[in-house]
Each structure stands twice: as structure tokens, then as C-alpha cells.
A and B are shown apart, each in its own frame.
Chain A
Amino acid sequence: MSGLYGFLFAMWILIIIGGGIMVVLLGPFSIQQYGDFHWIITSGIKVTIALVLVVMWILILSKLKNYIFKKELKF
């Protein structure tokens, strides 16, 4: 059970760090030189970065899961 509490806590920390990256990197990001379409391009890039962050989050979580539950996951 202590492993599960540790995993929950690690997820929480990852969410806060992920939020920081979103606000610091994604928030101010903007492209202006494409006229009326700048917001579509900006949004597209933001979506891509967000998806990359989500994939990274899942990969880190997978590694953490294997590390924390290495004894339990020998099913």
C-alpha cells in the first residue's frame, strides 16, 4: 500500500511540474507574422506541444510504475 501512496504523490508532483511547463512555455507562446491565420498556427503548435507533454507524462509514469511496483508486478 505504501507504494500506491508513493505513486499517487509522484503523480501529483508530475501534474504540478507539467502545469508549470504549460504556463511558462505554452502560455506566452504566439506567432504573429501569418496575418489572420496566426491564431490557428499558434493553436496548432500549442496542441502539438501539449500532446508531446502528455506522451512524456505517460512515459515517465510508466517508468515510475515499474520502479515503484517492481516487486508487485511480477504477475
Chain B
Amino acid sequence: MIELIIPAIISCILAFFVVYFTTPPLIKILVKKNYTVKDMNKKENVMVARPGGISIILGLVVSEIVLYGFFQLNEILALIITTTAAFLIGYVDDRKVMGGWFKPVTLAIAALPIIFLGAYDSNLAFPLFGDVQIPLLYLGLIIFMIPITGNTINSIDVLNGVASGFMVIASFTLSICLFILQNYEIAIVSLPLGFVSLAFYKYHKIPSKIFPGDSGALTFGAMYGVIAIIGGVEIIAAIALLPAVINSFLFLSSVKRVVEHREIKGKPVEHTDDFKLKATNDKTAPVTLVRLILAGEPLTEKQIGFAIFKLAIFSGILAIISAFMMGVSL
């Protein structure tokens, strides 16, 4: 067991502190180069540095390289390559406005190393009912999973601290589930994602000093998707991600097509005089998770963030129950 504990501790410390110490200088460089965007939910004209994906990927890659040194697993190589590719895709989108097709198509290509390195098991495990073997179908699942998790996390990156805070809850939930299922090596491989998210949350929480940008959100989402595949916990990962899945589902079912957020004309939410957020009556605007949360009453940005975190904790509990249910067979 000691041979697992030492790499786990080293990689978690590295993941946390690389992001913790590299983000402040990154903010300074981004501000100096005028790589900033307006925070739309602040009364004053607040400009926030973007993208923070650079420190996120640095923390993840450093910690995973250390883990590769200990374990030499193809799964870790696939994780590093796919996550780095997702970061680069997001970085291109941060710098240049790309079409709606760009991210799904390129993220699907980014998933290929998982197949080429054989870092997957084609059995899909379900709670209570056991496994189903779907060799050909599973290849399609890998290709679809990374664009879905990447864009799902990207779609909830709408308020200060939400994407990183949500990732803290979802990724630690996934790690707990992997430990419950006694998949110890992949559980340790998954831990840096939680610690990187936690360190980044310090600077991303309200009032944000830096935004993750597409590069950060896609890095978070892609790594989460890869862990789900290499750990064989695809269904549990989907359950832990349900609040973000609801957001994408509501958006797609109201817009009825795959479209970039910036192409949507109608505004789902607006500001009150005291700068709280409230749902609009605009029928052309998409239905989103935030809009539904605000359907009852106007809330502050911080209150909405905590409402989303509570939903994430609820789905995290459902995911952990599901992990226990994996051991039960009907």
C-alpha cells in the first residue's frame, strides 16, 4: 500500500501548489498583455484576466508525469495527451473565434490516443445490473465522451467560480467512487484533477481574478472524461456530472440545435437595479440551469453559485450510492 500512498501524496501536493503559485504571475502577465475580458455580472467595469487554462494544464501535466514515473501506465499517457490536446483546442478558441463545429470535432480527434494506447475496457458497468460488453459501440462512446464532458463543463462556466468549484465536487466524488470500487491506481491518477480545481478555485471564486476560458474548461472536462473511461466508471461519472448535463440538455432542448453561446441573441437572464440576476421572459432565449434557478426569485451571483454547488453535492451523493450499488447484483 505504501507504494501507492507516496505517489498519491507527491502528485496531489504538486498539482495543488503548481496552480497555487503559477496563477498569480499568470494573472499579471495576462493583464500586462491586455488579455482580459469584462466581467458581465459586475456593476463596475471590472476586467478579468483570461485564460487560466495555462496554469491548470501545467498543474495537471506535472503531477501526471510524476505519477507516470511511478506507475508507467498507458492510461496516464493517454490522459496526458488527450488533456493537453483539449487544452490546445480551448486555447485556439480563446484566441480566435471558431465555428460551432470546431470544438466537438477536434475534441473527438483528441480522444483517439485513448483508443490507440488501448487505455480502456470495452465493458460498460451499470449499478445493480452488472456489465455489458459492447466492443464496437464502446469505441463510439470514447469518441463522443470527450467532446461531451469538455463542452458540458464549458457550458456551466458562466459565473465566477462555478466551473472550478463544480469540478472540485465532481472530481473528488469520482475519486471517492474509484476508491470504493477498489480501482486504486486510477483513483490516485484522478486526484490531481480535484487538487488543481481546488487551487484554481481560490483565484476563480467570486470576485474572480482570472477566468479559466475555453482552454481551462475544456481541460477540466476532457480530463474528467478520460478518467471516466480509463477507470471504467462512465455511468458514475455521468451521474456526478448531472447538474451540468441538465444545463446542456435544457439548452439543447430549447435551442434545438448545436450552437455556440455567442450566437444566441435572446438573453436568458438580466440584472435587477441592485445588480442581482433574474430570469427574463424572452421566449427566444435558451432555457438554462441558471435561468431555472432564478425562476423563483432574483439572486446574487454568489447565491446562484452555491445553489449549483448544492446540486453538485446532491448528484455526488447519488454517484457514491451508485458506486456502492456496483457491488450489488440483482
Q: Chain A: residues with CB nearer than 8 A to chain B?
A: 1, 3-5, 7-9, 11-12, 15-16, 19-20, 22-24, 26-27, 39-40, 43, 46-47, 50, 58, 61-62, 65, 69, 71-73, 75
Contacts and interface: CB of A to CB of B under 8 A. Distances in A.
A47 B89 CA distance: 29
A26 B124 CA distance: 11
Contacts of B171: none
B239 A12 contact: yes
Interface string B122-151: 001011111111111100100000000000
Contacts of A43: 134-137
Q: Chain A at the B interface: mostly helix, strand, loop or mixed? A: helix
A2 B280 CA distance: 21
Given A26-B132, A69-B292, A75-B291, A12 B242 contact: yes
Contacts of B121: none
Given A4-B243, A16-B325, 17 more contacts: A5-B314, A8-B315, A12-B239, A12-B315, A19-B126, A20-B126, A22-B126, A24-B129, A43-B135, A43-B136, A46-B134, A46-B136, A50-B137, A61-B249, A75-B281, A75-B283, A75-B285
Given A19-B127, A20-B126, A75 B132 contact: no
A1 B296 contact: yes
Contacts, number: 97
A23 B137 CA distance: 14
B253 A19 contact: no
B265 to A, nearest CB: 15
Given A5-B311, A8-B311, A47-B137, A19 B128 contact: yes
A5 B293 CA distance: 11
Q: Chain B at the A interface: mostly helix, strand, loop or mixed? A: helix
Contact of B126 (A8, A9, A23): A23
B245 A11 contact: yes
Contacts of B291: 75
B16 to A, nearest CB: 30
Given A1-B293, A75-B279, A20 B137 contact: no
15 contacts: A4-B246, A5-B311, A7-B246, A8-B318, A16-B127, A19-B127, A19-B129, A20-B126, A50-B137, A65-B249, A72-B292, A75-B280, A75-B282, A75-B287, A75-B291
